[in-house]
Structure formats: C-alpha cells, structure tokens
Chains A and B, each alone.
Chain A
Amino acid sequence: MKKIAFKTLGCRLNQYETDALASRFHSGSYEIVDFNESADIYVVNTCTVTNQSDQKSRQTINQAKRLNENAMVVVTGCMANNYKESLLESKAIDFVVDNERKTSIFSLVEKHFRGEVADPEGFDHDVFSYEAAYKTFHTRSMIKIQDGCDNFCTFCIIPKVRGRAISRPAKEILNNIREVIDYGFKEVVLTGVNIGRYQDEEVNFELLVEQILNLPGDFRLRISSIEPDGFSDRFFELFAHPKLTPHLHLCLQSGAESILLKMRRMYTAKQFRQMGEKLKALYPDFNLTTDIIVGFPGETQEEFDQTVQLANELQFSHIHTFKYSVRTGTRAERMPDQLSEKQKNQRSEVVRQISDHNKRAYYNRMIGKHQRMLIERIGSDGVARGYGENYIPIRLKAKNVTRNTFVDVVLSHLHEGKELEVCAVLASDHINA
C-alpha cells in the first residue's frame, strides 16, 4: 500500500480541497500519513496570498523532497497558478497541478504508477467535482459552495489564481451536506473564495443558507469567512436559527474610508460599522472576527488610527493581521508610497495587541454562559477540547464524553496556555452544583 502525505497552506478552501483529495486517496487504498513521515507521494496545496505564503509554500515543497528524495511531489494550489513556469523548473517537484485541475490529482497519481504518461494539462478543468470528504483532518466538514472572485480588490492576487466567480449548483451542495451529515459530521463550514456572491440561478447566498438550515439532522452550520457586501436584512435574521452559529469572520481590511476606496472594496467603513453594530444589537454575544491589512500603499498614521478605532469599537475577538505585500499584476503594485517593513511591523504589532485584548475581554464576558461544545479531541490527560457555537476554544475535564459529539457546557474560567482557551463544566454538573 502506497503512503501519501498532504500539507495545506492558506485558506479553508484549500483545506476543504485537501480533505476531499485525502478521502479519495483513502478510498483508493492509499495509506494517509503525517507530512513529517516518509511517504511515497507528497501533495502540497500551496497559497500565494502574501510573500510569506510564497515562502512557506516553497519551504514545504523542499521539506517534502528532504523527507524522501525518491517520493513523488505534487504541487497544487494558488502558487501553482501564480508561479507555474518557475515551479515546473524545480527539481524538487514532479507535477504542478493548477487549481482548475486539482480534482484530477488522484487520477494523475494512479496513471503515473501504472506507468502511463501522466500530464496534468491533459485533464479537464473542474473546480467542483470533489467527492464528499469522509476522511478529513478536522472534525468540522468544510463544504465548497463557490470558487473564484470578480471583485478585483486592488491588493489581491486571488482573481488571477482562482479565476472568475463560479457557484456550485445548490442541489449538489445540499446533497454534499446530506452525505457528510450521514458520515457523522456535526458541524458544516461553508467555504469558497467569495461566498457572499453565491448565485445559482434564483438561489442567492441567503436562500442557500436557509435551505441548508432546513435540512434534517443534528448538525450546526458555520458561515465563517465572508466579504461584507450585499447583505439584506434577511441575512441578519438568519442567525436567529438555532443551527446557524453566532460567529462571522467579516473581512474589514481597513477602517479608513480612503484606504477602502483605494483597495476597491465594495463597502464603506461606515457600512461595515453598521453591520457589526446590527449583529451585536440583535445577538449580544455574537462573535465577530476579521482580517486587517496593515501598510497598504500610502496608508497614513491617521488612516491606520481609523482602523484601530474601528477594531476597538467593534471588539473583534480575533484579528488576522496581514502585512501588505506587493502581488505582481495587481493594481496596488503600481501604487506609489509603498510602506517600509518596519512601519508594517509596528502597525501589525498594534493590531495584534488589540486582538489579544479583545479576545480576552470577549472570553471573560462569556464566563458563566452556556455553550454547545463539539468535542474535537480528548487528550491523554483526559481533557476534551473543542469549540462552542460562538467559536470559543473550550477545555472540558469530564468523564464519559466522546469525540465528535455535542455536550452542553457552562464556561467557567480562562485557561492561560499556548493559546488562550476557556475552561468549562458540563451544564448538568453546573446545575447540580
């Protein structure tokens, strides 16, 4: 039995695609091993969203060849689209497979081991024909609903490497979700490049979410990362549904109107503020997280301060901070006043501190509240870990709990570890106490 190892860099969409590929190889009688082990095949699903992502992707490719110099190394993902020519020249890589043909990797590997000529370019483009992933690296099941983006934000390379926006037929999505629920998954996470722009004939994003929520079964749905444009009132109302988790990763990027305009974002800071305030007014414990880019070309101290102010006002419990990095071929590449690394580092550190502060404040505010925890793993110390519906990482010391089940807990106190977590007790014990 051949051994195959996967490494995913970047976004949840990549994770979904890796999960689906791993499932396909598993059902094809390959043994899936950890990426640090010696394998016959390594699949590196790369990211190219920043310079740092490029670097990590290259390091991972080299790591694969070091682990087993005779192994087959397959490189796919956004870097494969963005730097195809230079990757093809690398001796560490056997196959470069672009995003549009990622689904063909199983057939490509099989062909190669049958001794046939395997050419990635010989497969058709198909971004949705992934099988439902039963073998995943996560407890949550990601579901791809959309690919590509037509927004063309001036900093972003994604439209170039993921192509034009395309939505997966709603019927396929619902079937895919039915399958993963049947496999036993308790949490479904919607993924794509710009999922808010989902449109399959008459079915828009809100309608799709509504249809998913109406599926039978004991599961919950997480929207996760979404661009803040084009929400109707219905979107906000959806969160009243018990199956929809009260958490959104709503990508802000900047709190300055002028920078948002230069980024060519589809909303204003004022509109973003209104969305955040509306969510918090309707659902006081709502967990709002975000992405912020620091050091966009020409970003003044005053503009950065506006971002800081908005981050403080909306109290994002987590901020994924990106230092702006030039992406070849984007409009921002040709913008003047590129900031120094030192300035970007300083601003990044300010945002990181706000994020840490807000996270602590939010978790503290949630102490004493109930959460429905999905148990993801149970350590040898008997501590179960998982997430509540508000996407708070929870530690639970309890007997007779099993992985991939829901338990009702009450949050009790913060736990200072490598990452900040919240300890909990079973709700039944809490009542008894």
Chain B
Amino acid sequence: MDKSTQTSGSKDELHIFGRPWTYQVERLGPIAAVIIFGAVVGIIEPRFLSARNVINVLYQAATYIILAVGMTFVITGAGIDISIGSMLALTGILMVFTIEYTPIPPWLGIWVAPLSGMVLGLLNGLFITKLKVPDFIATIATMIGYRGVVLIMAGGVVHYRFPAAVRFLGAYRLFGLIPISILVAFAIGALGYYVYNNTYFGRYTAALGGNRESAILAGIEVDKYKILTYVFMGFLAGVAALVTIGRLDAFHATYGEFMEIDTIAAVIIGGTALFGGYGRVWGSVFGALLMSMVVNGAVLLGFPYFYQYVLVGIVILVAVSIYTFLGTRRTT
C-alpha cells in the first residue's frame, strides 16, 4: 500500500507561493496592468497621476466596479446578464418616483433602488431556471422590456435636483476629497471577494458554473444558487443606480445604456472564465479600473473621442489572448 502513495500530478509545473505560475499571472495580471498602464501614461503625461485625476478616474470607475462585482458571480455561475443597464435605469426611476410622488422620506426611499433591483434580478433568475430560457436570451428580453418600462414611466423628461439622501452616495466626498462612491465600490469588492471564497453561495455558484451535473449529484440546489446570482446582480444594479443618479444629480431614461458591454469587458479583463467555473472578484475591480483609466488616459493624451472605443477593444483582445494562452498551458 505504501508504494502506491501518490504525489501531485501538477508538481512539475512551476509554483510561486504555492500556486502554479499561470494562476499567479491570472490573479495579479489585472493589478499589474493597472500599475504599468498608470506608469506609462503618467510618464508621458504627468497630469494623469495628479491626485485630482486619480480621484476622477476612480470616481468614474465606481459604477462599473459595483456592476462588475455582481457580474463576476453571474458569469462564474455560467450565466450572463445583459439587462443590467436597463435594471440600473428602472431601479433608478422607481426610486425617483418614490421620492418625488410619495410621502416616503428620501432616506427610506433610496432603498427602493437596491430592493427593486433584487426583484428584477429574481425575475431574470426565474425566467432562466423555471422557464428554461437561456441566460443570454432571457436577459436580452428583460433588457428590452425593462427599458421599455423606464421609457413609459420617465418619458423624455429629465428629473433633477434630488434631496441630499439621493446625492449622498454618488456626490458626497469624505473630508471633501475622497468620493463616498469610491469607498463603497471598493467595500463591495472586498465583500464580493469574501462572499466568493467563504460562503456556500460563492462556492456553489462556482460549482454549478464549472460542472452543473456534478453540482446536482453533490446535492446542490443549482437553480436556487443560479437565481441568487441574478438577485445579487440586481441588488448591485440598484446600488449603481444610486451612485450614478447621485453623482449627476439627475435622471434620464437612457441611463445605463451599453453599460452591460463595458461591465462584461471589465469582468473578462479581470480573468473570470467566460463560460463559468471560476471568478476573480478583485480582477473585475481592477478590470473596471483599467477601462476607466484607458478612457481617461486617451482624453489626456489628446486622442479624439472615438479612438477610445478602439483602445478599449484592443485592451480586451490583449487580455483575453493572454488568458487563453495561460489556459491552454494549464490543461495540457
């Protein structure tokens, strides 16, 4: 029996701090990209690293960071949520109407955004698990449907000048300097990281995304956890609505359009597997930050506006190529 003692098959692969080097590159890649990109652009254009601009970049990234944390869970569970931009707008208008047209005090009314987001996410989850509509199709349908409701409710009118409770999360600054929204975004990143690694929700989401059949055989209620990823996403879409509306102190029915694309891009840049099984919460945070830096850097370096899209596209392609390369190494 002793002679049949086994050792690890992955022993021959180079390990750094107890993990394969490919894993470390995947994990640290997005952070390294943020640092390197920041340094390079900062050398060419020193204004890029000024305190004011750094805060500005973070400020603009906050919404995407919050959304990307939620999307990390959805994608880890082998799902995708195309409806987040519409959810952001719908939770926003529901909150705005609550505050403008009901006697509910604003400090209570703002909770309508995250709570209604959970309901919208629950609907997404139910369509996917109970009606068996593929994630992509179901959330494209709700993207259109939710947006329709927003347009019906808000029309073309801009709502603006909200009470302090609404502006607090998006516009207020700690010591008059650091926007609350940045702190909230990073707190949500930390919470997401903890949830991913330490809760049953996080573990079972990865399990159902990695091998749904195995998860079922292990007695995991896969539908329940799948739905929960969408509920969590909806909740964070509501928080992102608060941050966006508070920052601009205004609401318009087009808010959130195309945000799903940028958010999914941030998650993919961050190293989360597009087809499920494992997620990188901090990767998504830094992925969102990198996207924000690219856009801001392009402006400072004097690129015409439309070139930003080209640059972001290049960043996504480079990131995914690197992961594909590492992924190939990992399985052969």
Do A and B share a complex?
no
A: residues with CB less than 8 A from B are none
B: residues with CB less than 8 A from A are none
